[in-house]
Structure 1
Amino acid sequence: MNLDRASAIALAQAVCESVGGRDDVDVGLFPPAVYLRDIVEVAQSSPVQVGAQNCCDQTSGAHTGEISVSMVQDVGSGLVLLGHSERRHVYGESDELINRKVHTALAQGLDVMLCLGETQEQREAGETETVCGSQLQAGLAGVEAEDLQRVHLAYEPVWAIGTGLTASPEQAQDAHAYVRGVLAGIATDDLAARTRILYGGSVKGENAADLLARPDIDGALVGGASLTPEAFLPIIPDSPEATGN
């Protein structure tokens, strides 16, 4: 719950202007639901994608406060973020609920960005791989092979979100490589190799290049640094803001 409507629109305009017509980088914005249509309209002539931060596991009916997949689609969005750490750890969303949301989104035509990651306590207990593997397997349980092609993944260590802490490039690479291996077991080596796995956890202009240079880190899921153009644009590879041009 950040930014007002005017600030969200201004941010989207700056991002779309910076990206221009580039086809060598994919950029997505996930605004609050009440601004989703506004940002879709800003980005409609741009390659920038716009996604929802969440959706309901039910298709319609009396679910006060929820947003259905069809509502997300009706305002022009084709992508949804599911399983974010705040949904899991603040609002208590279970692996089972997240899996139902994944099925509903995919069945109705939305692409999915599925998030997973461990807490500080779990990392200190040596459970990073166990937790990430379990969340991935549960989140994708029952998903058909052809639908897995519309799933992107984001590894976001909970202890590095909004704390100023960042997983080292080596830690992040190890986690991403493990997740890719688990995905290969669920699907195929080929699909796992083609699936984008983003890193999320205090990504900023100063550390993005080192993280993105790792072979299994395919992009960044940016949090706090995505709230202003000055902080967000330098993260985009080869942007004028990143290169200083």
Structure 2
Amino acid sequence: MMRIPIIAGNWKMHKTVTEAVDFVNQVKDQLPPADQLQTALAAPTLCLVPMVQAAAGSPLKLMAENCYCKDAGAYTGETSPYALYQAGIHHVLLGHSERRKYFHEDDDLINQKVGAALRNGLCPIVCCDDTMARRIAADDQIHWAVNRILADLKGLSTEDICKVTVAYEPSWAIGSGQSADPNQAEEGCYLIRQTISDMYGEDVANNVRVLYGGSVTPENTGAMMAQADIDGVLVGTDSLDSRTFLEIVNH
């Protein structure tokens, strides 16, 4: 099966509802057909429903930046995966390095969130990272990323793993302006795919999309997406401006 590339923006804690809807209106008619390239935006929860309404009929998909591992309950401040799906959100970003660093999310919790998302019809984009320090000290950052994938995807069925996208984001590249070069990025994505192949078989691994994220720009998108095992990019800062985002999408 051919893997359809995906370019996803991650806004983090940026934009008001009005700004988010304005952005959607600026880009929604200038995106490639979804059967050629899928385009998505991960936005703050408050913005998602108005964005879904603004994007209706366009190729643009909206993603949550996080969800909890329970459908409902006494979990003040958390977002229900069930409620997200009912609101028209079909994708969710899980395990981003900022969630791991600032909110102390571990692989066990992320694994539970992945299961909850899939159970509710959401397609997770699961992030794994490494550190520059590990690369310099021992050149073992890829092994660490692979171990994380084993933990985050533990227990998923073959049917479920085919609904998951994995994003490889070296932590030293996120927001730093210093991107991995295309060969480094390809190495990480290739080894992630090989890990999935070891878990589920080569045919399944060849159907799972693997993205690169970390200081993605209009200038490096084409080189990244030309690599055999990179099926798209997860864009941070450069997804906040509609013109720059469109440059990346239409690279």
TM-score, normalised relative to structure 1: 0.94
1:133 aligns with 2:146: yes
Q: Quick one: distance in 1 between partners of 2:204 and 2:228?
A: 16
User: Does residue 26 of structure 1 match 2:38?
Assistant: yes
The residue aligned with 1:229 is 242
Question: Is it true that 1:178 corresponds to 2:191 in the alignment?
Answer: yes
Q: Distance in 2 between matches of 1:234 and 1:17?
A: 14
| Runs of at least 5 residues in structure 1 that lack an aligned partner in the other structure | none
- Secondary structure class of the residue paired with 1:233: helix
CA distance in 1, matches of 2:191, 2:27: 32
SS at match of 1:59: coil
SS at match of 1:51: strand
Moved more, 195-204 or 127-136: 127-136
Tell me if 1:49 matches 2:71.
no
Give the direction of change, closer, same or farther, for the CA distance of 1:171–1:192 in structure 2 (3 Å limit).
same
| Deviation sequence 1:68-117 (CA, Å, 0-9, x none) | 11111121111111001101112110000000001111112111111101
Q: 1:193 aligns with which of 206, 228, 250?
A: 206
Task: Tell me, yes or no, if the aligned pair for 2:158 and 2:204 is still in contact at 8 Å.
Answer: no
Structure 2: unaligned runs, 5 residues or longer: 1-12
Alpha-carbon distance in 1 for matches of 2:23, 2:148? 32
- CA offset digits 1:25-79 (Å, max 9, x no partner): 1101111000010111112211211110000011211000000111111211111
Aligned to 2:25: 13
Higher relative contact order (CA 8 A, sep 6+): 2
Alignment RMSD: 1.2
In the alignment, which of 96, 99, 121 is matched to residue 109 of structure 1? Answer: 121
Q: Distance in 1 between matches of 2:125 and 2:200?
A: 17
- Matched to 1:209, the amino acid is G
Aligned residue number for residue 37 of structure 1: 49
Whether 2:132 is the aligned partner of 1:120: answer: yes
Quote the Cα distance in structure 1 between the aligned partners of 2:54 and 2:43. 12
Task: Quickly say closer, same or farther: Cα 1:81–1:186, change in 2 above 3 A.
Answer: same
Conserved? CA contact 1:129–1:178, under 8 Å: yes
1:210 partner letter: A
Shift of 1:128: 1.2
Q: Distance in 2 between matches of 1:26 and 1:193?
A: 18
Counterpart CA distance in 2 for 1:230 and 1:185 is 41
Amino acid at match of 1:121: A
Query: Cα offset for 1:21?
Result: 4.4
Equivalent runs, 1:142-221 vs 2, <5 Å: 142-221=155-234
| Letter paired with 1:12 | V
AA in 2 matched with 1:203: V
Residues 35, 167 of structure 1: alpha-carbon distance in 2 compared, 3 angstrom cutoff: same
Shift of 1:22: 5.1
For 1:20 and 1:214, locate their aligned partners in 2 and report how far apart those are by CA, in whole Å. Answer: 20
